[in-house]
């Protein structure tokens, strides 16, 4: 079978997007590449199989166990991630998805990213399945604080209400996913997306790949936007081997969109 041209795929996806009322956008680190954030291995995209300064695998340094045992180590690398995200602005892809939410109230975003760029772009129907680095929670009381950056923050920080340690509102290695986010994702899937996008993610986590599997099993079109091969490349109806911003700008400029 002849492979379709990029223009033919873009036309088909633009037409599907124009018809869709409940599109689901699943995003990973690749959507933030145009914001200057790297996409390689590790929370926040800072590590690629390298050990930390202390000799720990990054998965151990950024684990719930390490946070409880040696919080200064976990906070050192959380702060590096935050610094990497600092001053980053939403890309055209983030902004276009937020604009599509305004046009289509049934649209939702499921993101693995903890950089808050979807929220900064204006997305409201947003499931941050791994949390956000820009919110701190007390490990003992109900204190929580949203903050733009960690400038001037003592590390590791203490709760101003009870003096116990604060933690970032992110899912560390070895921790469970947040129940509220999982419940919201279940509601979105129960409502039945009518178009599924997988954008800038390798889809190695089952809960990220699941909506694409669901789409295939239920006769719903799925679209992958990613320059490389991923866990779901063989499952989607349409593949755009492009960066996120390039693809979404091309789609939104199409006559059908």
Return the structure tokens found at 81. 């991630």
Rounded to the nearest angstrom, the gap between the alpha carbon of residue 243 and the centroid of all alpha carbons in its chain is 15
Q: Categorize the per-residue pLDDT at 70 as very low, low, confident or very high, splitting at 50, 70 and 90.
A: very high
Which CATH entry fits the domain spanning 6-37+89-130+176-252: 3.90.950.20, 3.40.50.1220, 3.40.50.2000, 2.60.40.420? 3.40.50.1220
Confidence at residue 234, expressed as pLDDT on a 0 to 100 scale: 96
State the catalytic residue, choosing from 130, 134, 238, 256. 130
49-58, 93-102, 143-152, range with the lowest pLDDT: 49-58
Reduce the DSSP state of residue 133 to 3 states and report it.
Answer: strand
Query: Percentage of residues in the chain with pLDDT exceeding 70?
Result: 93
Interatomic CA distance for residues 221 and 238, integer angstroms: 8
Which token pair is 14?
A: 């633009």
98 forms bridges with which residues in the sheet?
Answer: none
Report the pLDDT value the prediction gives residue 235, as an integer from 0 to 100.
97
Q: How far apart are CA 73 and CA 77, in angstroms?
A: 7
Task: Answer yes or no: are the C-beta atoms of 114 and 181 closer than 8 Å.
Answer: no
**At 86, is the pLDDT very low, low, confident or very high (cuts 50, 70, 90)?**
confident
Told to judge if 134 belongs to the known catalytic residues of this protein, a careful annotator would answer no
The residue to which tokens 């145009």 are assigned: 34
9-29: average pLDDT: 96
- Chain segment 20-62, per-residue pLDDT in tens: 999 999 999 999 988 888 665 444 445 555 667 787 888 899 9
What is the spatial distance between Cα 239 and Cα 232, in angstroms, rounded to a whole number? 10
Is 1 a residue whose pLDDT tops 80? no
Nearest to 157, CA basis, from 171, 132, 139, 176: 139
Per-residue pLDDT averaged across 110-131, rounded?
96
pLDDT at 204: 92
Which listed CATH number (3.30.1600.10, 3.40.920.10, 3.20.20.80, 3.40.50.360) goes with 43-86+135-170?
3.30.1600.10
**From CA 164, how far away is CA 243, in angstroms rounded?**
43
**What pLDDT is stored for residue 43 in this prediction?**
46
pLDDT at 84: 84
What's the pTM value of the predicted model, to 2 decimals? 0.92
């Amino acid at each position: 079978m002849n492979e379709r041209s990029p223009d033919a795929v873009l036309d088909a996806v633009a037409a599907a997007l124009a018809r869709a009322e409940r599109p689901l956008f699943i995003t990973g680190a690749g959507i933030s590449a145009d914001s200057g954030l790297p996409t390689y291995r590790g929370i926040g995209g800072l590590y690629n199989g390298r050990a930390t300064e202390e000799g720990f695998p990054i998965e151990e340094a950024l684990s719930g166990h390490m946070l409880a045992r040696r919080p200064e180590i976990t906070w050192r690398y959380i702060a590096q991630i935050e610094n990497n995200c600092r001053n980053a602005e939403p890309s055209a892809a983030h902004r276009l998805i937020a604009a599509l939410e305004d046009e289509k109230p049934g649209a939702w975003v499921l993101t693995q990213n903890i950089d808050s760029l979807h929220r900064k772009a204006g997305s409201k129907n947003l499931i941050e399945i791994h949390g956000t680095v820009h919110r701190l929670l007390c490990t003992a009381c109900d204190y929580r604080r949203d903050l733009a950056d960690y400038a001037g923050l003592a590390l590791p920080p203490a709760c101003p209400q009870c003096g116990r340690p604060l933690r970032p509102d992110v899912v560390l290695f070895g921790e469970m996913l947040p129940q509220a986010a999982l419940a919201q994702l279940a509601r979105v899937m129960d409502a039945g997306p009518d178009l599924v996008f997988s954008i800038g993610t390798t889809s190695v986590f089952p809960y990220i790949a699941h909506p694409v599997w669901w789409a295939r099993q239920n006769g719903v079109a799925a679209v992958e936007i990613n320059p490389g091969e991923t866990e779901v490349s063989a499952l989607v109806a349409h593949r755009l081997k492009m960066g996120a911003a390039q693809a979404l700008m091309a789609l939104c400029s199409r006559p059908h969109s």
